[in-house]
Chain A
Amino acid sequence: MTALAQCVGVSRRFGDFTAVDGVDLQLGPGEVVGLLGANGAGKTTLIRMLLGLLATSGGQVLLFGEPPSRRTRQRIGYVPQTLGLYDDLTPAENLAFSEAVFGAAPGEGGRQVIASALPESLRPYRRTVVGSLPLGVQRSAAFAQALAHQPDLLILDEPTSGVDPLARARLWETVAIAATAGTGVLVTTHYMDEAGECDRLMVMADGRVVAEGTAGQIIGDARVSVVETGSWAAAFAALEAAGLPATLVGRTLRVPGAGPADVRRALGPVEASVTVAPATLEERFFELTLTSERARESA
């Protein structure tokens, strides 16, 4: 089966700066792939190349088996971070406008644009302009708009930022329904809890893919040291002084990238119990990003 989106050794340079460096990606129908990366890791540049907004400097991008074009763009639904809605139109007016744009020329295979029916969840808000809606509803409206032309490929850039957990769950329901119907989904997120909604994750750092797989596969056997102490502030200062930055969880400190013996030594006279625990995805992500940064600096 033809991949919906395929990148083979894709690179993009801006002057001396390589924003995307030899990325391979394959996205099939019904797949949900999560793209994780710090700012500047190359996620947005990669998405812009997939959307056909930016040319590659090397390698090849194929959408539905062909190079990005106006025609491939019609088969893509895209929700940018900024949502891409007109604040002074209602959700229905936004949808109608978007359909007029996408519907002017139906895409490949005689696909029909569905009539402008608002999803059930948006009906109570049909007379309210987008700018006056709660953020969760605005995001639902942006999803509805991106899905209205039944795209084969859905690209979501931080789709759930700033909404409550129930609203977030409902946005993911929408994504899951689209994926079950065969749409391939590429989604960026900074929220590691959402990794569980993806079939597969790709971690980018410095323009390259540095890890790929499920959350469990990416974490592997990464460990952190856990410091339990009655005086966390003293322990925090002692670890900092030893160049072992700790993260605070309640009154417990977690130290990535350092074994318990090193941590014990760094704590000096501070009374504490030091144990080892499996790293979280966020901690593993952090380690991958840091490793990549150090490799670049030493190169």
Chain B
Amino acid sequence: MTAPSPGREVGPAATAVQDWWGTEEACVRYGDKLALDHVTFRAAPGQVSAVVGGDGAGRTTLLRCLAGAIAVDSGQLRLPPPPRIGYQSAGSGTYPDLSVDENLAFRASAYQMPAALARERSGELVERAGLAGARDRLAGQLSGGMRQKLGVIAAMLHQPDLLVLDEPTTGVDPVSRADLWWLIARAAADGAAVVLATSYLDEAERAVGVLALDNGRVLGSGTPEEIIAAMPGTLRVSDTRPEGEARRRAWRRGGRWRIWDPPGQPSPLITDLRHQNPDETDVIMTKTREEMDGPPGQLGQPPQATPAVAPDLQDAVTVAILARELAAGQPEGGGSR
């Protein structure tokens, strides 16, 4: 089969070892709504990539494309042949009326795995993920964390080249999450390109590549460091919620307020950090600002002791969502659809 355009590239080129799987300028439309708007995403073999964004951001649509379950309206998909893809849909992707063992046996036969290999591999993964005592239990009767672990094992059982996991860790307790991350790391160590959707930014920070989506559009993509570096403007922290216009640019984190100053915003400059017990990154931030903006006070504002904060991935993604909301003049919604 040759690759039509728009479409899916499957053929001799796609079955050879690839340096990435993913999408190129992919658009997917549901009626009037553009669920994916020119999304380019690349997942490399042997590493974990994370897709982040809130409810309605387009994560699930992108993952369905990567799983080969839906076609793109325009743009390209570059995917391994279907038998070389592993997919866990949102909500665990297991059969509630089958036991743990039956779920895995069913998956193994669907992928035409040799019986001995299937037994050995499911035995090993089930044991390591702490499911050995639950092999005869129906998937529908497992706890949320156990069911997610079963779903990930089922998706990676046949050692796919591309493993696509839709929110395997949402609502899962930290102990099960550690098991899930072990499975994810194991799949990557075995050579799979692992794509994981998550709403936890600390989790995304553990990935090598991150794609942040909002409303079907790419908010940022690259390594966590690249996304952080690309954040426009600067960030301050304050113990109190700011008044006036800045209120709309502030949000709560860690019991304090983060305030985003967009580029060109005449913002209170960051001054005397010696009293703030700064860490190294704070000092570097301040230095960088002074180099860019000149010495404190030059913008005609009285210097204030507002410590700058070096953003992390969560801050950078929050700023991206906030900037879009402010630009669209949307009310505070608490959602992202």
Q: Which residues does A use to contact B, with CB under 8 Å?
A: 36-41, 81, 120-121, 123-125, 133-137, 139-140, 158, 161-167, 169-173, 176, 190-193, 196-199, 232-233, 236-237, 245-251, 282, 285-286, 289
Number of A-B contacts (CB under 8 A): 165
Contact assessment for B174 and A190 in the assembled complex, using a CB-CB cutoff below 8 Å:
yes
Contact assessment for A161 and B170 in the assembled complex, using a CB-CB cutoff below 8 Å:
yes
A123 cross-chain contacts in B, Cβ below 8 A = 331
Q: Does B53 contact A (CB under 8 A)?
A: yes
Mark interface residues in B196-234 (1 if CB within 8 Å of A CB, else 0).
000111100111100000100000000110000000000
Minimum Cβ distance to chain A for residue B174 (Å): 6
Minimum Cβ distance to chain A for residue B185 (Å): 4
Number of B positions contacting A (CB below 8 A): 58
Chain B residue with Cβ nearest A233: B189
Per DSSP, are chain A's interface residues mostly helix, strand or loop, or mixed?
helix
In-complex Cβ contact of B175 among A38, A133, A199 (8 A): A38
Q: Does B277 contact A (CB under 8 A)?
A: no
Contact assessment for A164 and B332 in the assembled complex, using a CB-CB cutoff below 8 Å:
no
Q: Can you list 17 A-B pairs with a CB-CB distance of less than 8 A?
A: A38-B175, A39-B143, A39-B145, A162-B167, A164-B55, A190-B177, A192-B202, A197-B255, A233-B190, A245-B182, A246-B185, A248-B181, A250-B207, A250-B223, A285-B174, A286-B178, A289-B174
B31 cross-chain contacts in A, Cβ below 8 A = none
Contact assessment for A166 and B55 in the assembled complex, using a CB-CB cutoff below 8 Å:
no
In-complex Cβ contact of A121 among B181, B182, B224, B334 (8 A): B334
Closest 5 CB pairs of A and B: A164-B54, A134-B335, A196-B254, A136-B335, A169-B251
Contact assessment for A38 and B174 in the assembled complex, using a CB-CB cutoff below 8 Å:
yes
A164 cross-chain contacts in B, Cβ below 8 A = 53-55, 57, 199, 214, 317, 321, 336
Distance in angstroms between the alpha carbons of A94 and B321 in the assembled complex: 28
Chain A residue with Cβ nearest B46: A233
Q: Does B322 contact A (CB under 8 A)?
A: yes
Distance in angstroms between the alpha carbons of A199 and B254 in the assembled complex: 10
Distance in angstroms between the alpha carbons of A282 and B178 in the assembled complex: 9
Contact assessment for A247 and B182 in the assembled complex, using a CB-CB cutoff below 8 Å:
yes
Minimum Cβ distance to chain B for residue A117 (Å): 16
Q: Which of A37, A165, A170, A193 has the most CB of B within 10 A?
A: A165
Known: A139-B334, A162-B170, A250-B207. 8 other contacts (CB 8 A): A36-B174, A162-B199, A163-B55, A169-B318, A190-B177, A232-B189, A250-B206, A250-B208
Distance in angstroms between the alpha carbons of A211 and B313 in the assembled complex: 29
Distance in angstroms between the alpha carbons of A37 and B145 in the assembled complex: 13
